[in-house]
Structure 1
Amino acid sequence: MDIELDEVDRGILHLLQQDARHNTATDIAAEVDVTANTVRNRISRLEDAGIIKGYVPVIDYERTDKSMHMVIQCTVPIHERGELAATALAVDGVVAVREVMTGHRNLRIDLVADDTDEITAAVSRLQRQGIEVDEQELLKAEYLQPFDHFGASAADE
């Protein structure tokens, strides 16, 4: 289902990305100048269209027992990329998999572990699944921000 996003939709998306847990429909309605019921209806429509696919907490893995966060760059055959992405996601410790639109290093895997033995075991399992591991990087920090629905012109003002 394809839908065209307007400023209200983009405003809702922005505010949900900022803080989906604490931004109520009433809070969002006040920001985007519509009623809370309109916000709820828009969110349902965005979910039904697959634009909003879920609500996921941002976890600081360093503060958990999985203090090591690895970014693993991999290469897989392009025609198997989707299938191998799903296979990788089933490996213990894998928290995210991204398909990249290139021939080389076309799969990016985020893995969390509490020690190097767990990392080694997970990487070995990925390799046994037919995933070629090109590079492993230990992530120090990650910084996220919501999509800026106001665009560059608002930033220039």
Structure 2
Amino acid sequence: MANKVKVPTSLHSLASGVPLLTGSNFLEWYEHVQFRLGVLDLVMALLEDKPADINEYSTAEQVALSKSWKRTNRLSLMFMKLTIANNIKTSLPQTVNALEYLQAVEDRFRPTDKSLAGTIMAELTTMKYDGNRGVQDHILNMADKAAKLKTSNS
């Protein structure tokens, strides 16, 4: 039998910790959304296809799975919409499927690999130690950018 999804805290309070998607911060927003939905155990609708519609021949397990999927889909969609700026929401397609909605956001805002690589390379080549932060922070920042550059080229 499918596990019953429980949401232990307010969806709104967890959504308030996610940076509002404004367009230029897609990757940060995406990571926060994925993490929070995982913590809330609401990723089922993002990982599994919608189960077949229930009918009089459906088993108790199929009915439970369908109800669980519908709930996680609805809550995931609401969660994502809470964390997107209003001017962006109006330009996204209206869908009742959380995975389709996330895909539409990703298609619109995920930087292409070449432009991301170019941006990171420019940041790395012009980066200078300014003395305001510690040397360790500066090195960690450079290592982070190098790792992002490596993953964008793979």
TM-score w.r.t. the length of structure 2 is: 0.27
Looking at secondary structure, tell me which structure has more strand per residue: 1
Looking at secondary structure, tell me which structure has more helix per residue: 2
TM-score w.r.t. the length of structure 1 is: 0.27
